Amino acid sequence: MNKLLLALAVAATLYYGLGQQHKPDPAVTQTGAPAPSGNEVVRAAFDKQLSGVQVSGQGNVVKLLQDDNDGSRHQRFVLELPSGHTLLVAHNIDLAPRIDGLATGDNVAFHGVYEWNAQGGVLHWTHHDPRGQHQAGWLRHAGRTYQ
């Protein structure tokens, strides 16, 4: 039953994340059961090797990485979600402010696009789209939103 709910949540995220007009009640699924958390949707996308999934959630920083300066610059760090799943965050700092003062152990909430890889996946599109063609993402740290 839990796998079915997760599959429904992933399908709904894909459907509604692609610009559909109807907005479902985020607190319940079609069956009336509580909706899986955003972190559970990340785990389901990883398990099913899905990419391009709009996700939200939160986790704690477990590793700070050097910036990726090839092409667009990205601040990179690894979050551990409450489930224990880890997720690489690639935050475009050419389009959004850097999270200054970020430290191991800090909590970061997120909204962006999940891309599968065998290490746990990558979160990107954590910023606005200057062309206005993509759903805006964001990161939230210490009460400030970065987008």
The class (CATH top level) of 2-146 is mainly beta
18: three-class secondary structure by DSSP? coil
Identify the pLDDT of residue 37. 62
pTM assigned to the model: 0.74
Identify the pLDDT of residue 100. 93
Angle between the 38-47 and 2-17 helix axes, to the nearest 10 degrees?
Answer: 100
> Phi/psi class of residue 102: alpha, beta or left (left: φ > 0; alpha: ψ in -120 to 50)?
beta
> Where do the structural domains in the chain lie, given as residue ranges?
2-146
Identify the pLDDT of residue 9. 43
Q: What is the pLDDT along the chain (147 residues), one digit of tens a residue?
A: 444 334 444 444 434 443 333 333 333 333 344 445 678 888 899 999 999 999 999 999 999 999 999 999 999 999 999 999 999 999 999 999 999 999 999 999 999 999 999 999 999 999 988 888 888 999 999 999 999
Across 13-120, the runs of DSSP E, i.e. the strands, are 53-64, 74-80, 86-92, 107-115
